[in-house]
Amino acid sequence: MSATIYEAPRAAAKPGETVVTSTCGHNCGGRCVVNAHVRDGRIVHISTDARRWNPDHPPLPACARGVGQIERTYHPDRLQYPMRRTGPRGSGQYERITWDEALDTVAREMLRVRETYGNAAILDASRTGSQSMLHGRVAAQRFLYMFGGCTDLWSNMSAEAEVFSVRITYGEKDYKSAGREPTDFANSRLILMWGWSPGDGTFGTGTMQYLKHARKNGTRIVCIDPRVTMTSKQLADEHVFIRPSTDAAALIAMAYVIVSENLHDQAFCDRHVLGLDEGPVPEGASYRSYLMGLNDGQPKTPEWAAAITGIPAATIRRLAIEFATTKPAAIQAGYAGGRTVFGEQFHRAVYALAAITGNVGVSGGGSGVSNGATGRAGIRSLPIGKNPIESKVASPLLADLLAHGKAGGYPADIRMIYSAGGDLFNQCPNAGKMAASLDKVEFIVGQDHFMTPTVRMADIVLPATTFWERNDVHVPWAGAGHYAIYMKQAIEPMYECRNDIDIFDDLSRRVGINGYNTKSEAAWLKDLTADAVDDFQAFAEQGVARFAAPKDAVAFAAQIRGEQPFATPSGKIELYSTVLAANPNPYGLGVIPPIPTWFAPNDDTKRFPLSLCTPKSRARTHSIHGNQERLGKVDPDTVWMHPNDAAERGIVDGQNVRVFNDIGATVLPAQVTDRIAPGVVSIKEGAWYTPGADGADSRGCANVLTTDRSAPCGATTYNTNQVKIEAAQ
């Protein structure tokens, strides 16, 4: 008998309507049920999974963004037909053309650029604005690789610091299966939520409910964050403010307290950890030596960290002792601390703390990774093949790549950009520099749903279908929950929109590619789910497949039981990375020491005294939904300021202010609140870049203020930036 349960989490259809189950095809942080109520070929209502919450079989309810999909689908600004640019780039001046004209033009330009400059001159700027197992970015990658390759932006813009650190520390290639299932939260006596706020950006469907369940059952929750987030406000027994980009220092100081006071689990470390002590690692190279300051003369005491982080030394010491002596305890690290100039050090210091206290791989503990333990549960995505050329650039360096190309040490001068479901001109750092660096780019294709800040720069615009207008499959965003959702088509493609596979299939024939699309949509989906779904018809009809729970709710439990080694070179948790010892600068972006190490950002805090962080908006998925006025009211765009900082500048709540630094400026209302640390301001990322005649942004786009630099591991550095604020004129 199958362990998979197929269920239809939707209400019965009323007379004259059909109800179709799907899930949002975006990189939203959740994977929820959205049901389209269709009447006369039009979605008239969106409902969600309304079942009562049950920790053993939780419902999959949608947030405001899911219910807001009806506004997005029928938005008056939907791209309706192919267009060709007729005015200056960025002017928004276009003329309507046919699909044949559009695809012939794209094919001709692709062939010309390849012949003239080579494949590396073509940049894939596609991303996750339209994301699922079949359609979306994978369709673009498959096409471009079959065309002979392209320049790739290789690093994960959200979580590369964690991707890297999980691989270096635990040897695990899939960071989405290196954490623990939310069902295990209630087994923790203590949870440190470090830069992690599932109540703001969503971090797995149902995560907040499981955290509330844990707290109700006695779990103590402490939040460490520059802001009192929605999560902290609802759940925290204690909130600890910290300066952005200083997380590693606090974690290292906690490790100092634990090790210096012999509160660590030495037996666990002897069995499972490499690098806390000398012996297997070179003399003086151990984590203990670093903590005690044996090489640099600086013991990493709470007093040392207090001056860096703004956390009182007594608080650091108390948290360290509590974490070491409360069993089991978990540290849940979000991505925010990794989106800093040395972001890999944050994650590696988190994992070190989990390891030395013996919490890795045990129920109620965990690895320090906030994703789940099941990943995709066996569901595969469209095969993309391998990029035939080695032309890769870390994603946060896009602006510099466009500005300097080969002269700046990059592998190519970019002459063509293909963006399918990507809005990188808005979402990569230094939006102003990107907009000013397109003169050498000869041709841009924008394939999307709206005239986003990126599509607005395109020479040819191709209107794509939304997830309601095609069939697909999706899996839990956070790698937790062991289920899949069949995204059943609810309505016919609107206007002249076409789905991604059909667009690339048509284009592939025009450029001489054979075999791009070898199956029907249904055949692809059946094949991609075959390893997990044993009744595809039931899956497609019902909408949700619930798979059996994993043997262990916590990653690496088998390794701790001794059933298998860790996949690192040593077979252990590597606080001392043998990979980094052999190659300390793996990407040419900066040296990464073998052990977790504190580095100061060294930004100009005198001229720009306020530290900027860029959290998620509850009304957007990155820049998706950025043009939805009604949804935007859920979480208006403001700049958070502490009352002391506002008073010092003569700024009052609600006043329009100018936020600026050397690379850009934006204007938006001030929100004066004691929910943010003094000296810190925050602007929610994703607002659409809208420059005026003077080049300054007028809609609160955070990335006009973020620097196009990379962490040594390739991570973005959105949360290491300094700004000034003054009253807007």
The C-alpha atoms of residue 212 and residue 436 are separated, in whole angstroms, by 47
Q: Which fold has domain 610-727?
A: Barwin-like endoglucanases (2.40.40)
Q: Looking at residue 1, what is its pLDDT?
A: 47
Q: Is 528 helix (H, G, I), strand (E, B) or coil?
A: helix
Q: Is 557 helix (H, G, I), strand (E, B) or coil?
A: helix
The pair of three-digit structure tokens given for residue 627, joined into one six-digit string: 């043009």
Count other Cβ atoms within 10 Å, centred on residue 541: 13
Taking the complete model, does pTM exceed 0.95, yes or no?
Answer: yes
The domain spans of the chain are 160-371+556-582, 610-727
- Give the DSSP H/E element, type plus range, for residue 21: strand 18-22
Q: In Å, what is the CA distance from 690 to each residue of 49, 456, 700?
A: 37, 11, 9
SS (H, E, C) 629-667: HHHHCCCCCCEEECHHHHHHCCCCCCCEEEEECCCCEEE
Per-residue pLDDT tens over the stretch 453-505: 999 999 999 999 999 999 999 999 899 999 999 999 999 999 999 999 999 99
Q: Looking at residue 130, what is its pLDDT?
A: 81
Residue 21 burial class via C-beta count within 10 angstroms: exposed 0-12, middle 13-18, buried 19 and up? buried
Q: Whats the size of the chain, residue-wise?
A: 729
Q: Looking at residue 610, what is its pLDDT?
A: 98
**Average pLDDT of 164-192?**
96
Q: Looking at residue 694, what is its pLDDT?
A: 85
The C-alpha atoms of residue 31 and residue 37 are separated, in whole angstroms, by 19
Per-residue pLDDT tens over the stretch 302-318: 999 999 999 999 999 99
**Average pLDDT of 562-578?**
98
Per-residue pLDDT tens over the stretch 41-54: 999 999 999 999 99
Count other Cβ atoms within 10 Å, centred on residue 550: 20
Residue 163 burial class via C-beta count within 10 angstroms: exposed 0-12, middle 13-18, buried 19 and up? buried
Per-residue pLDDT tens over the stretch 709-722: 999 999 999 999 99
**What mean pLDDT, rounded, does the chain reach?**
96
The pair of three-digit structure tokens given for residue 526, joined into one six-digit string: 């059946």
CATH 1.20.1090.10 matches 160-371+556-582: no
Per-residue pLDDT tens over the stretch 646-704: 999 999 999 999 999 999 999 999 999 999 999 999 999 999 999 998 889 999 999 99
Contact 577, 597 (CB under 8 A): no
Phi, psi angle pair for 311, to nearest 5°: -85, 130
Cβ-based neighbours of 653, under 8 Å, separated by 6 or more: 646, 670, 671, 672
Has residue 2 got a pLDDT over 80?
no
Q: Looking at residue 190, what is its pLDDT?
A: 98
Report DSSP letters for 683-727, one per residue. Answer: E-TTPPP-B-TTS-BSS--GGGSS-----TTS---TT-EEEEEEE
Q: Residue 417 gets which letter from DSSP?
A: E
43 has which bridge partners? 38
